[in-house]
Structure 1
Amino acid sequence: MKEPEFGVVVPLEAQKLTHTCPGCGGRLLHMAEKDGRDWYRCEHVKLYGSRMPACPACGAGLPVRSRKSEDLVCGDCGETQRACPSCEAGWLVERRGRYGAFLGCVRFPDCDGKAKQMKSA
Protein backbone atom coordinates (compact mmCIF):
# COMPACT_ATOMS: atom_id res chain seq x y z
CA MET A 1 0.00 0.00 0.00
CA LYS A 2 1.41 3.33 -1.03
CA GLU A 3 1.60 6.10 1.58
CA PRO A 4 -0.36 9.22 0.59
CA GLU A 5 1.50 12.48 0.03
CA PHE A 6 0.09 15.27 2.13
CA GLY A 7 1.97 18.10 0.46
CA VAL A 8 2.95 19.78 3.71
CA VAL A 9 4.90 22.93 2.95
CA VAL A 10 7.17 24.29 5.66
CA PRO A 11 7.84 28.02 5.34
CA LEU A 12 11.50 28.90 4.70
CA GLU A 13 11.66 30.98 7.89
CA ALA A 14 10.49 27.97 9.95
CA GLN A 15 13.06 25.71 8.25
CA LYS A 16 15.89 28.04 9.34
CA LEU A 17 14.69 27.90 12.96
CA THR A 18 14.29 24.10 13.14
CA HIS A 19 17.13 22.03 14.62
CA THR A 20 17.70 18.45 15.79
CA CYS A 21 16.86 17.49 19.39
CA PRO A 22 19.99 16.24 21.22
CA GLY A 23 17.94 13.76 23.24
CA CYS A 24 15.74 11.93 20.77
CA GLY A 25 16.74 13.12 17.29
CA GLY A 26 13.37 14.80 16.70
CA ARG A 27 12.96 18.44 15.78
CA LEU A 28 13.66 21.35 18.11
CA LEU A 29 10.96 23.87 17.36
CA HIS A 30 11.45 27.60 17.75
CA MET A 31 9.22 29.14 20.43
CA ALA A 32 8.88 32.90 20.84
CA GLU A 33 7.80 34.38 24.17
CA LYS A 34 5.78 37.59 24.44
CA ASP A 35 8.62 39.23 26.39
CA GLY A 36 10.99 38.75 23.44
CA ARG A 37 12.96 35.77 24.82
CA ASP A 38 13.14 32.86 22.40
CA TRP A 39 13.81 29.19 23.14
CA TYR A 40 13.55 25.80 21.46
CA ARG A 41 11.61 22.72 22.55
CA CYS A 42 11.51 19.17 21.26
CA GLU A 43 8.50 18.20 19.15
CA HIS A 44 8.20 15.18 21.46
CA VAL A 45 7.90 17.39 24.55
CA LYS A 46 5.41 15.06 26.26
CA LEU A 47 7.72 12.06 25.87
CA TYR A 48 11.15 13.60 26.23
CA GLY A 49 10.78 17.26 27.21
CA SER A 50 14.09 18.62 25.89
CA ARG A 51 14.39 22.42 25.95
CA MET A 52 17.19 24.69 24.81
CA PRO A 53 17.57 28.43 25.30
CA ALA A 54 18.24 30.62 22.29
CA CYS A 55 21.64 32.19 21.63
CA PRO A 56 22.58 34.53 24.50
CA ALA A 57 24.02 37.07 22.04
CA CYS A 58 21.15 37.54 19.59
CA GLY A 59 18.31 35.84 21.48
CA ALA A 60 16.90 34.08 18.42
CA GLY A 61 19.30 31.58 16.84
CA LEU A 62 20.59 28.30 18.23
CA PRO A 63 24.35 27.71 18.52
CA VAL A 64 25.45 24.47 16.82
CA ARG A 65 28.79 22.64 16.61
CA SER A 66 31.26 24.28 14.29
CA ARG A 67 33.20 22.15 11.84
CA LYS A 68 36.17 24.49 12.16
CA SER A 69 36.57 24.54 15.96
CA GLU A 70 35.44 22.90 19.18
CA ASP A 71 33.02 25.74 19.95
CA LEU A 72 29.37 26.21 19.01
CA VAL A 73 28.45 28.97 16.56
CA CYS A 74 25.09 30.70 16.26
CA GLY A 75 23.64 30.44 12.75
CA ASP A 76 21.97 33.84 13.04
CA CYS A 77 24.61 36.16 14.52
CA GLY A 78 27.85 34.12 14.26
CA GLU A 79 28.64 34.46 17.99
CA THR A 80 30.65 31.56 19.44
CA GLN A 81 29.87 29.77 22.71
CA ARG A 82 32.18 27.47 24.69
CA ALA A 83 31.05 23.87 24.08
CA CYS A 84 29.92 21.63 26.93
CA PRO A 85 32.45 18.85 27.62
CA SER A 86 29.68 16.31 28.34
CA CYS A 87 27.19 16.70 25.49
CA GLU A 88 27.15 17.60 21.81
CA ALA A 89 24.44 20.27 21.87
CA GLY A 90 24.97 22.38 24.99
CA TRP A 91 27.23 25.30 25.75
CA LEU A 92 28.59 26.57 29.05
CA VAL A 93 27.18 29.52 30.95
CA GLU A 94 28.22 31.03 34.26
CA ARG A 95 26.38 29.65 37.27
CA ARG A 96 26.75 30.07 41.02
CA GLY A 97 26.83 27.19 43.46
CA ARG A 98 27.70 26.40 47.04
CA TYR A 99 31.43 26.63 46.25
CA GLY A 100 31.27 29.77 44.10
CA ALA A 101 31.02 30.50 40.39
CA PHE A 102 31.48 27.78 37.78
CA LEU A 103 30.52 27.08 34.16
CA GLY A 104 27.57 24.73 33.65
CA CYS A 105 25.71 23.38 30.63
CA VAL A 106 22.58 25.21 29.45
CA ARG A 107 20.87 21.81 29.13
CA PHE A 108 20.89 21.22 32.91
CA PRO A 109 19.27 19.02 34.33
CA ASP A 110 19.38 16.88 31.14
CA CYS A 111 23.17 17.37 31.07
CA ASP A 112 25.34 17.97 34.12
CA GLY A 113 28.45 19.06 32.20
CA LYS A 114 30.58 21.67 33.93
CA ALA A 115 33.99 23.29 33.87
CA LYS A 116 36.05 25.46 36.14
CA GLN A 117 35.93 29.13 35.42
CA MET A 118 39.17 30.70 34.22
CA LYS A 119 40.61 33.16 36.72
CA SER A 120 41.02 36.60 35.22
CA ALA A 121 44.30 38.40 35.85
Structure 2
Amino acid sequence: MRIGIKPYLVIILICMYNKLNIVLISGLIAVRLSDLKVKQTAIISKVNRTVSDNVNQPDLVASRLETLGFVPGTQVQVITKGIFGGDPILIQIGFTRFALRKVEAARIEIQEVVQGAAV
Protein backbone atom coordinates (compact mmCIF):
# COMPACT_ATOMS: atom_id res chain seq x y z
CA MET A 1 0.00 0.00 0.00
CA ARG A 2 1.39 3.40 -0.97
CA ILE A 3 0.66 6.52 1.06
CA GLY A 4 0.65 9.76 -0.90
CA ILE A 5 1.58 13.07 0.71
CA LYS A 6 0.34 16.23 -0.92
CA PRO A 7 3.03 18.92 -1.45
CA TYR A 8 0.85 21.65 0.04
CA LEU A 9 0.61 19.69 3.30
CA VAL A 10 4.39 19.57 3.56
CA ILE A 11 4.58 23.35 3.08
CA ILE A 12 1.94 23.89 5.77
CA LEU A 13 3.84 21.68 8.21
CA ILE A 14 7.08 23.56 7.54
CA CYS A 15 5.34 26.89 8.12
CA MET A 16 3.83 25.62 11.37
CA TYR A 17 7.26 24.46 12.58
CA ASN A 18 8.79 27.86 11.81
CA LYS A 19 5.99 29.63 13.69
CA LEU A 20 6.85 27.65 16.82
CA ASN A 21 10.44 28.95 16.75
CA ILE A 22 9.52 32.61 16.20
CA VAL A 23 7.58 34.70 18.70
CA LEU A 24 6.29 38.12 17.64
CA ILE A 25 6.74 40.70 20.38
CA SER A 26 5.57 44.26 19.55
CA GLY A 27 7.55 44.77 16.33
CA LEU A 28 10.47 42.64 17.50
CA ILE A 29 11.05 38.98 16.75
CA ALA A 30 12.53 36.81 19.50
CA VAL A 31 14.56 34.02 17.91
CA ARG A 32 17.50 31.87 18.86
CA LEU A 33 21.05 32.86 17.99
CA SER A 34 21.47 29.60 16.06
CA ASP A 35 18.67 30.73 13.68
CA LEU A 36 20.28 34.08 12.84
CA LYS A 37 21.65 34.37 9.30
CA VAL A 38 25.21 35.29 8.36
CA LYS A 39 26.04 39.03 8.61
CA GLN A 40 22.88 39.76 10.64
CA THR A 41 23.07 41.68 13.88
CA ALA A 42 20.78 41.30 16.90
CA ILE A 43 20.50 42.04 20.61
CA ILE A 44 20.66 39.29 23.24
CA SER A 45 17.47 39.09 25.30
CA LYS A 46 18.36 36.14 27.59
CA VAL A 47 20.36 32.95 28.02
CA ASN A 48 18.11 29.94 28.58
CA ARG A 49 18.98 27.51 31.33
CA THR A 50 17.83 23.99 30.55
CA VAL A 51 15.82 22.15 33.15
CA SER A 52 17.80 19.24 34.51
CA ASP A 53 16.83 16.40 36.84
CA ASN A 54 18.61 18.03 39.76
CA VAL A 55 17.12 21.49 40.27
CA ASN A 56 19.82 22.52 42.77
CA GLN A 57 22.64 21.93 40.28
CA PRO A 58 23.65 25.07 38.32
CA ASP A 59 23.75 25.02 34.51
CA LEU A 60 27.46 25.30 33.76
CA VAL A 61 27.12 25.99 30.02
CA ALA A 62 24.71 28.91 30.56
CA SER A 63 26.95 30.29 33.31
CA ARG A 64 29.99 30.06 31.06
CA LEU A 65 28.20 31.82 28.18
CA GLU A 66 27.24 34.67 30.51
CA THR A 67 30.81 34.87 31.80
CA LEU A 68 32.10 35.17 28.22
CA GLY A 69 29.84 38.17 27.59
CA PHE A 70 26.56 36.72 26.30
CA VAL A 71 24.43 38.91 28.56
CA PRO A 72 21.08 40.62 27.86
CA GLY A 73 21.38 43.91 25.97
CA THR A 74 24.61 42.98 24.19
CA GLN A 75 24.80 43.29 20.41
CA VAL A 76 25.89 40.14 18.55
CA GLN A 77 26.61 39.36 14.91
CA VAL A 78 26.97 36.06 13.09
CA ILE A 79 30.16 36.23 11.04
CA THR A 80 30.00 32.83 9.31
CA LYS A 81 28.67 29.31 9.73
CA GLY A 82 30.32 25.96 9.16
CA ILE A 83 30.04 24.26 5.79
CA PHE A 84 28.44 21.01 6.93
CA GLY A 85 25.13 21.73 8.63
CA GLY A 86 26.14 25.20 9.79
CA ASP A 87 28.08 23.92 12.79
CA PRO A 88 30.05 25.65 14.38
CA ILE A 89 28.86 29.26 14.21
CA LEU A 90 31.35 32.15 14.40
CA ILE A 91 29.83 34.94 16.49
CA GLN A 92 31.20 38.39 17.24
CA ILE A 93 30.53 40.40 20.39
CA GLY A 94 32.29 43.75 20.27
CA PHE A 95 35.81 42.97 19.04
CA THR A 96 35.81 39.37 20.30
CA ARG A 97 34.84 36.35 18.20
CA PHE A 98 33.55 33.03 19.54
CA ALA A 99 32.93 29.72 17.81
CA LEU A 100 29.83 28.12 19.29
CA ARG A 101 28.11 24.85 18.53
CA LYS A 102 24.50 25.07 17.36
CA VAL A 103 23.35 23.52 20.65
CA GLU A 104 25.09 26.27 22.63
CA ALA A 105 23.88 29.04 20.31
CA ALA A 106 20.31 27.73 20.59
CA ARG A 107 20.35 28.55 24.32
CA ILE A 108 20.71 32.26 23.56
CA GLU A 109 17.53 34.16 22.71
CA ILE A 110 17.94 37.32 20.64
CA GLN A 111 15.72 40.11 19.41
CA GLU A 112 16.05 41.28 15.86
CA VAL A 113 14.35 44.50 14.78
CA VAL A 114 11.86 43.92 11.96
CA GLN A 115 12.52 46.29 9.07
CA GLY A 116 9.89 48.99 8.88
CA ALA A 117 8.64 48.45 12.44
CA ALA A 118 8.65 51.27 14.96
CA VAL A 119 10.70 50.51 18.06
* TM over 0.5, shorter chain: no
Instruction: Looking at secondary structure, tell me which structure has more helix per residue.
Output: 2
**TM-score for the superposition, normalised by structure 1:** 0.30
Instruction: Return the structure number with greater relative CO, CA threshold 8 A, min gap 6.
Output: 2
